[in-house]
Amino acid sequence: MRRYASILTAVLLLTVISGAGLSGDETDGGSGRTTPEPSPAAVEKKEWTCGMHPSVRMDGPGKCPICNMDLIPAVEQAGRTSGPVTVELDERARMLAGVSTSEVRFLPLYKEIATVGRVDYDEREAANVTARVSGRIDRLYVDFTGTEVKRGEPVAQLYSPSLVSTQDEYLWAVKTRDGMKDGSNKEALRGAESLLNAARNRLLLWGITENQIAELERSGRSRAHMTIVSPVSGTVVRKMVTEGDYVKQGDHLYHIADLSNLWVYADIYESELSWIRVGQSVVFTTLAHGDEEFRGVVSFVDPFLDEKTRTLRLRVDVPNRDMKLRPGMFADVTIRAVPAGAGEYYVCPMHPEVVSRVAGDCSLCGMDLVKVKEGVEMAVPKSAVLDTGKRKVVYVEKQPGVYEAREVALGPEALADAGGRGTAHYPVRRGLAEGERVVTRGNFLIDSQSQLSGPAASMYDASLGEEGPRDPEHRH
């Protein structure tokens, strides 16, 4: 019963508005008229339509085939002129419809994208500790995952017969070179130095440091074990060997990552891609630290879309100086994005709803407006837009009580801090000018009045100035 009561109320309200638009010729000269006027060849044709389904047109009274409501009279003009259609409502009709308008103006637009992410280590700050020569691991100085090491610290001790023989070769080359320094055979001296350099380079390639080579030359004795040191500072992420393992040249012993800078991977939907770009600020929280906010910057956007989830992966660089964040944590990510390519503007720091394209003072508090480089666009409230599926239409107030249907091109839905709170708006790409007023409340009833009066077709073609007669035989 409540549903039928709501329908009956809507029908009565539409009838009142329709009556206001259709009775002008009989009473006060037209308190509700729809333009443009028909051409001289236009002939009025009596038709009946449904208050809930204006696309239904019948030649006589009856029931609506869709909702079974009684049909009401409608005026259909057989000939239509091209051009925009305006709907005129008197004061009483506007009051019953609750019509209100809003000014089209430049506003700072943004979009809050909420998603989830996962913390991981920075791949650029990670390195593997490898065996540069085959041998046996006789000792591990770092014997469990999670140990923190510094660059140059010993991590393992390796025994290698090849290393011993190369050290002996180096010592023999040193002795040969020293014995030939005072001799007259320069060719033999150059050969000894060449052999010495070859052995020295081999030791360096195997990871023997300059200091270790100097100690070898000073002591004159080869060492059975070589000490493997960490190439980076960081935390051991993985340990791949145990004491006593035999390893080959190139085998990985440890994987070490620096956790002072981390990555957060976050997924966004395909529809949100236009809002994302490298350099944007990101805020996120974790379960481990409650409402404490961590900040990072978008550093990379994956060039490929996941075809199964229809999402795109972002990478966010996050400093981790206090070591509160750990790889593997989940994060609740919020990205406050502004439209790409939006121009600079000036805004009041105390009243963000006061926006200007030029420098000046706040009209509310007199403070100097602050320049903001991006985010401003000419915008229209979401409530002003009627989406037909094929196109988007707004009603522009030409003068009090006179409204013109206009097709507009809009950008993606965004938020604007109008009135101190975020309200849904669309950036205007085409169709409106700054300062025009659009209907934000009652536009559905104005649109229904336009259709009931005849000049507007069911898909707004006539309202938008598109020529072409409608098939008179078409019926629903």
| Residues 166 and 199 both lie in one domain | yes
Q: 392 lies in a domain?
A: no
| Residues 135 and 249 both lie in one domain | yes
Q: 66 lies in a domain?
A: yes
Q: 403 lies in a domain?
A: no
- Mean pLDDT confidence for 17-32: 42
| Residues 137 and 71 both lie in one domain | no
| Residues 91 and 33 both lie in one domain | yes
Q: 472 lies in a domain?
A: no
The per-residue pLDDT of the chain, averaged, comes to: 79
| Residues 179 and 133 both lie in one domain | yes
Percentage of the chain modeled with pLDDT above 90: 29
| Residues 139 and 190 both lie in one domain | yes
Please state which of the ranges 21-30, 32-41, 135-144, 306-315 shows the lowest mean pLDDT: 21-30
- Mean pLDDT confidence for 373-395: 84
Q: 218 lies in a domain?
A: yes
pLDDT tens-digit profile of 255-276? 999 999 999 999 999 988 888 8
Range of the domain at 139: 128-257
CA angle centred on 375, ends 370 and 377, rounded to 5°: 105
| Residues 92 and 133 both lie in one domain | no
At 21 the pLDDT is 43
At 296 the pLDDT is 92
| Residues 263 and 218 both lie in one domain | no
Whether the model clears a pTM of 0.75, i.e. scores above it, the answer is: no
**278, 300 Cβ separation under 8 angstroms:** yes
Highest mean pLDDT: which of 87-91, 199-203, 266-270, 408-412? 266-270
Last residue of a domain, one of 337, 359, 385: 337
CATH number of the domain bearing residue 308: 2.40.30.170
| Residues 149 and 242 both lie in one domain | yes
Last residue of a domain, one of 291, 316, 337: 337
| Residues 25 and 85 both lie in one domain | yes
Look at the chain and report how many structural domains it folds into.
3
Q: 437 lies in a domain?
A: no
- What confidence tier does 345 reach under pLDDT thresholds 50, 70, 90? low
| Residues 227 and 268 both lie in one domain | no
- What confidence tier does 353 reach under pLDDT thresholds 50, 70, 90? low
Q: 317 lies in a domain?
A: yes
- What confidence tier does 373 reach under pLDDT thresholds 50, 70, 90? low
| Residues 139 and 118 both lie in one domain | no
Bond into 36 cis (ω within 30): yes
pLDDT tens-digit profile of 7-24? 444 444 554 444 444 443
CATH number of the domain bearing residue 228: 2.40.50.100
Q: Beta-carbon neighbour count of residue 440 at 10 Å?
A: 18
Last residue of a domain, one of 287, 320, 337: 337
Give the whole-angstrom CA distance, residue 166 versus residue 337. 61
Give the whole-angstrom CA distance, residue 398 versus residue 116. 47
Q: 155 lies in a domain?
A: yes
SS (H, E, C) the chain: CHHHHHHHHHHHHHHHHHHHHHCCCCCCCCCCCEECCCCCCCCEEEEEECCCCCCCEECCCCECCCCCCECEEEEEECCCCCCECEEECCHHHHHHHCCEEEECEEEEEEEEEEEEEEEEECHHHEEEEECCCCEEEEEECCCCCCCEECCCCEEEEEECHHHHHHHHHHHHHHHHHHHHCCCCCHHHHHHHHHHHHHHHHHHHHCCCCHHHHHHHHHHCCCCCEEEEECCCCEEEEEECCCCCCEECCCCEEEEEECCCEEEEEEEEEHHHHHHCCCCCEEEEEECCCCCCCEEEEEEEECCCCECCCCEEEEEEEEECCCCCCCCCCEEEEEEEECCCCCEEEEECCCCCCCEECCCCECCCCCCECEEEEEEEEEEEEHHHCEECCCCEEEEEEEECCEEEEEEEEECCCEEEEECCEEEEEEEEEECCCCCCEEEEECHHHHHHHHHHCCCCCCCCCCCECCCCCCCCCCCC
